[in-house]
Structure 1
Amino acid sequence: MRYLPLSPGHLEATIDLAATALRLRASLAGPGSSPPRDPAGIARAALDPHLTDGDRFAYIALDDGGTVTALLAGAIARLSPRDEAYTYMAPRHAHVPLSTWCAHDPRSAVESLPPLLAAAREHLDAASIGRLNIQVLDGDWWSAGLWRSLGFRPDTVFALRPLDAPIHAPATGPRVRAATASDLGAVVPLCLEEHAFHAANTGSGVAPDQDRRTVERIAGNWLDHGAGEDRERAFVAVDEWDHPVGVTTAQVLTAPAGSSSAALLPARYAYLGLTSVTASARGTGAGTALMAHALEWARHLPDPPDAVGLHYVADNALSAPFWQRRGFAPALTLFTDAPTNLRSTTERKNSP
């Protein structure tokens, strides 16, 4: 077996391997997904940039006959506090999406992925990138087990639930309404509080030095409730003085036809973005009330989607059990080789 960087001479065979993997993964997808019409085209679009972009890496395994049997490819991200992704991702990391890692069969995966991972890690170490993230479809338990055996742990979970599934909301709780421009001064601190919590209490790698101006710019785009369903909008839970004590956002996402996202996940679903309840209001039912209000908004759309999705951090001792108890089941998990947050682990051990 040989392991080497992807080259133009092996591109077509690697595309064939990735296209076959996409077809197999699509067979594990749930309701609302669309079988890929052009898996080779999807694979080509994903792999072509790896031949020319210096911030990408791609390694393949060749058997003794020269057949490509495994692939591991990804891209390096270097974020600054002015980038939106800086608010929810590690500033420096490498990302391997589902479309750029695969193996011909389980035996090839067990044999080849560890050496390919070692090659990628050597490349990333030279670039001073200490965190490698890899997407895994939750219906593919076999692959999840393999990455766990290689030292990876669940980091961020994309979870789904049926839109019309019951919500067991408390009888009393804060009132929820659409956020307005006058709420921006209260919403920004709620966002910063959420980012700070992740930085201090989870292994997500979120940086503590968030830029308030960036957060203000992001939140300022959530206040147009007359925009189309694909535009993110915010709802706030308010106290008796109508002051926001919690916030969530909602929109409808539609994957491009023929994309890997449409093949592996619902092609159209409601999406809940950042959800934050200030510490003094936790336990009052604010989180559930925010979720219920956002789902009610989605139900009243002219063409309501069948599912609702969101992301949560797997080792967040507050949000992970909250969303799980409200019917959200993991669909796509980002695994990472970065260590977990020790403070978060200690808190979970000491919790009842």
Structure 2
Amino acid sequence: MSGYVARVRHEGTPGGDIGLDPLVRSAAQRWREADPLLPEPVGFAPDSYPLLTVSDEDSRTVAAGSMHYTWYQPGEVGRIWGVPDQHWLTPVVGGPDPGRALDSLLTSWRDQLEDLPTGTGSESAALVSWPARDVAGIIPLQRHGLQPYTVLAARPRRRGVPPSLPPHDVTIRLADRGDLAQVVALLMEEHRYEQNFGGVFLQPDTAEQTRRVAARALNRSRSWIWLAERRGRAVGLIWVSPPERSRWAKSLVRARPIAHIGYGVVAADERGSGIGTALVGQAHQALDSYGVSVSVLNYAAMNPLSGPFWHRMGYRPVWTTWEVRPALALR
């Protein structure tokens, strides 16, 4: 990376602008060209520190990244879906050679992680979310030891397979509070399967945490959880968060309004029978009627079932989260 200079800023300037507007505009142009579903890159607020910056030979800022740290205490729900010690970099990369700029930014980030006074433990990870279609970042991310971990995929309205009927002896209906035990059982089956891909870490209280979250959803006047039953036995579900409960996703995609699919589960002995397709069709009909412009969901990059299934349902990758464990395995 000869000629590129990396710096770290530990405190901001007063006011709302820290002088990175040209960089943000450059990144926005590349994002628009790569993927129309991507939002505008978010600029850096004065409190976005510590902030890494990379300048080229002409002292123009070609990359910046804010560093964030998350620690999940034992018993917190977030600990189910990742290691407890998480170090995030949020990059904005522009200029004529974004791959080179990102490479230099990641090198600077590695130096900062090494210098952390608290250190990083064996249960730590370094994570970066990068636009899936911005292919300029793939080789630099790989070069630094990061691997695809999860995918955020999106489905614009009315995309995907046409609605289909479930098998003749399967019924689909909205779940209610009386279905709590069956819903929790299916979710725990899903959690156990997802452990195989390093994205779920079951804790002693995971079942109870899952029960509490599901109970809140089922107590709503419309749960937005559809349950598939075969002769009274729950064999699958799909759990949707409508736009009023998916506002957090506004920073991920450009379209509005947005809905989020949190779970799509089919019992292991029922997979391949059309139940999953019928459940998704039911949810999509409801979302399209509700006026939802785009629905989003996450799946493990290494899950051999999720990616192919959701792609058939009309979803395609928008963001990929890259990860390396432990954090100091970052090269």
TM band (smaller chain): 0.7 to 0.9
Cα root mean square deviation, aligned: 3.2
1:65 to 1:9, Cα distance in 2 relative to 1, 3 A: farther
Amino acid at match of 1:324: H
Shift of 1:110: 5.5
Q: Contact 1:234–1:250 (CA<8 Å) still a contact in 2? A: yes
* Greater share of helix: 1
1:81-107 CA-partner distances (Å, limit 9, x unpaired): 53333333333222233xx44254416
Q: How does 1:228-307 map to 2 (within 5 A)?
A: 233-241=224-232, 243-253=233-243, 261=251, 264-301=253-290, 304-307=291-294
Q: Please, which of 197, 203, 207 is the counterpart of residue 198 of structure 2? A: 203
Amino acid at match of 1:183: D
Amino acid at match of 1:20: R
Which whole-Å CA distance do the structure 1 matches of 2:184 and 2:271 have between them?
18
Q: Please, which of 302, 321, 324 is the counterpart of residue 334 of structure 1? A: 321
In the alignment, structure 2 segments of 5+ residues that lack a partner are 327-331
Q: How does 1:35-114 map to 2 (within 5 A)?
A: 36=40, 42-45=42-45, 48-50=47-49, 57-62=50-55, 67-80=60-73, 82-97=75-90, 100-106=91-97, 108-109=100-101, 112-114=104-106
What SS does structure 2 have at the residue aligned with 1:317? coil
The answer to whether residue 304 in structure 2 is matched with residue 317 in structure 1 is: yes
Which whole-Å CA distance do the structure 2 matches of 1:295 and 1:93 have between them?
34
Q: TM-score, normalised by structure 1?
A: 0.76
Equivalent residue, structure 2, for 1:348: none
Equivalent residue, structure 2, for 1:172: 167
1:225 to 1:323, Cα distance in 2 relative to 1, 3 A: same
Equivalent residue, structure 2, for 1:194: 190
Shift of 1:202: 0.3
1:295 to 1:181, Cα distance in 2 relative to 1, 3 A: same
Q: TM-score, normalised by structure 2?
A: 0.81
Which whole-Å CA distance do the structure 1 matches of 2:250 and 2:25 have between them?
12
Which whole-Å CA distance do the structure 2 matches of 1:211 and 1:5 have between them?
39
1:279 to 1:123, Cα distance in 2 relative to 1, 3 A: farther
Which whole-Å CA distance do the structure 2 matches of 1:310 and 1:337 have between them?
22
Q: Please, which of 20, 31, 34 is the counterpart of residue 25 of structure 2? A: 20
Q: Contact 2:9–2:52 (CA<8 Å) still a contact in 1? A: yes
Which whole-Å CA distance do the structure 1 matches of 2:109 and 2:48 have between them?
20
1:165 to 1:48, Cα distance in 2 relative to 1, 3 A: same
1:69 to 1:186, Cα distance in 2 relative to 1, 3 A: same
The answer to whether residue 149 in structure 2 is matched with residue 150 in structure 1 is: no
1:66 to 1:9, Cα distance in 2 relative to 1, 3 A: farther
The answer to whether residue 130 in structure 2 is matched with residue 136 in structure 1 is: yes
Amino acid at match of 1:43: G
Which whole-Å CA distance do the structure 2 matches of 1:190 and 1:182 have between them?
15
Shift of 1:331: 0.9
Amino acid at match of 1:310: L
Amino acid at match of 1:245: V
1:242-268 CA-partner distances (Å, limit 9, x unpaired): x322121113337879x9727x43232
In the alignment, structure 1 segments of 5+ residues that lack a partner are 51-56, 340-352
Equivalent residue, structure 1, for 2:153: 159
Of stretches 163-172 and 129-138 in structure 1, the one that deviates more from structure 2 is: 163-172
1:162 to 1:246, Cα distance in 2 relative to 1, 3 A: same
Equivalent residue, structure 1, for 2:329: none
1:288-345 CA-partner distances (Å, limit 9, x unpaired): 12111111111222xx123322111110122122112222111111111249xxxxxx
Q: Please, which of 179, 182, 188 is the counterpart of residue 183 of structure 1? A: 179
Which whole-Å CA distance do the structure 2 matches of 1:122 and 1:17 have between them?
30
1:211-242 CA-partner distances (Å, limit 9, x unpaired): 22211111112224535xxxx7211111212x
1:265 to 1:297, Cα distance in 2 relative to 1, 3 A: same
The answer to whether residue 4 in structure 2 is matched with residue 8 in structure 1 is: no
Shift of 1:30: 4.9
Which whole-Å CA distance do the structure 1 matches of 2:283 and 2:23 have between them?
37
Which whole-Å CA distance do the structure 2 matches of 1:6 and 1:256 have between them?
31
Q: Please, which of 214, 221, 224 is the counterpart of residue 209 of structure 2? A: 214
Pairs aligned (count)? 314
